[in-house]
Structure 1
Amino acid sequence: MIIGYTTGVFDLFHIGHLNILKKSKSQCDYLVVGVTTDRLAKERKGKKPVIPFEERLEIVKNISHVDQVVAQVNMDKLKAWEEIKFHKMFVGSDWKGTDKWNNLENKFAKRGVEIVYFPYTENTSSTILRKVLQHTLKENH
């Protein structure tokens, strides 16, 4: 059985999120998804997600392509592998070729783990949706 793993904040769930979950599941038998906690999201991106962690966890848990959901409490992908023992890790193509992910590819290759990059969904992101919401709220008040 091939175990796959991917992570995300999954704030303001949109088609890009669904695409990566669907594509990830198509390449494994069992998909584990790490949902980033509010604390980690704030540390990493400097802003708290619009949708609270428990609600984002519940949304992702109920997507048909997802077999298991875990809290992502840190960015240590090797630690996640130690706990889950996944065979494939799925990430957006915007990370491909970066020093961080080249390093991770080398470390994971020694463990027999393949990193699979999926094309980033253009024109839709939680950041864009957040800006639209803020603009709409300003116009209506």
Structure 2
Amino acid sequence: MQPSDLYKKKEYNIGYIAGVFDLFHIGHLNLLRKVKERCDHLIVGVLTDELVFHFKNITPFIPQDERQAIIQAIKYVDRTELVTMDNIDKLKAWELYQFDCLFSGDDWKNEPSWNQDKDRLNQLGSNIEFLPYTKGTSSTQIRKLIQNSI
């Protein structure tokens, strides 16, 4: 970062991103850094263990309270919130946090439901932006390595 970057107005005031953030790795850090570069205030939603099991049928290695503490300790993060069934919906999250932009990995970019949510958020003056994942490292890859070494 250049000294002049400190004085540049960022595109968004409040940004929001949600994820599991299990087995925290460089891809997670890169994603949070890229999001923070776009907004002044970053809220990160951390999915509860129950929600992860509901959607992925797996239990995270790291419990939700520990994952939330790890995310909160990162200098790019201004606030964390646990994501439950009550606030998983993007419009409900917008009602709670009033974010200017919801950020996500680009693996959701062409999902019809996300396009509908983008249209609905745009009507509220908010946006969705998709960022590329870091190639070569993922929680799924780490999980497989751990399971294969046991």
Is this a same-fold pair by TM over 0.5?
Answer: yes
C-alpha distance in 1, partners of 2:148/2:45? 30
| Corresponding residue for residue 3 of structure 1 | 14
How much has 1:76 moved relative to structure 2?
0.6
Q: Does 1:110 align with 2:101?
A: no
Query: Equivalent residue for 1:37?
Result: 48
- Cα distance in 2 for partners of 1:120, 1:98 equals 16
Spell out, residue by residue over 1:38-90, the C-alpha distance to the aligned partner (whole angstroms, 9 max, x if none).
Answer: 00000000001000011000000000000000001132111011010000111
Where structure 1 has 5 or more consecutive residues not aligned to the other structure, the ranges are: none
TM superposition shift of 1:11: 0.1
Match among 1, 12, 32 for residue 21 of structure 1: 32
Aligned to 2:102: 89
Kindly indicate whether residue 137 of structure 2 is the aligned counterpart of residue 124 of structure 1: yes
- Name 1:50's counterpart in structure 2: 61
Report percent identity of matched pairs: 47
How well do the aligned residues superpose, as a CA RMSD in angstroms? 0.9
Task: Note if 1:65 corresponds to 2:60.
Answer: no
Moved more, 92-101 or 29-38: 92-101
State the alpha-carbon separation in 2 of the partners of residues 97 and 47 from structure 1. Answer: 25
One-letter identity of the residue aligned with 2:132: P
Give the Cα–Cα distance (whole angstroms) in 1 for the partners of residues 47 and 66 of structure 2: 12
Of 116-125 and 33-42, the range deviating more from structure 2: 116-125
Deviation at 1:116, TM superposition (A): 1.1
Residue 5 of structure 1: how far off its partner (Å): 0.2
TM-score, normalised relative to structure 1: 0.94
Q: TM-score, normalised by structure 2?
A: 0.89
- Measured after TM superposition, the shift of residue 124 of structure 1 is 1.0
The count of corresponding residues between Structure 1 and Structure 2 is 137
Unaligned 5+ segments in structure 2 are: 1-11
SS in 2 for 1:116: strand
**Deviations 1:81-116 (CA, angstroms, capped at 9, x unpaired):** 101000011100111121011111111000111111
Q: Partner amino acid for 1:35?
A: V
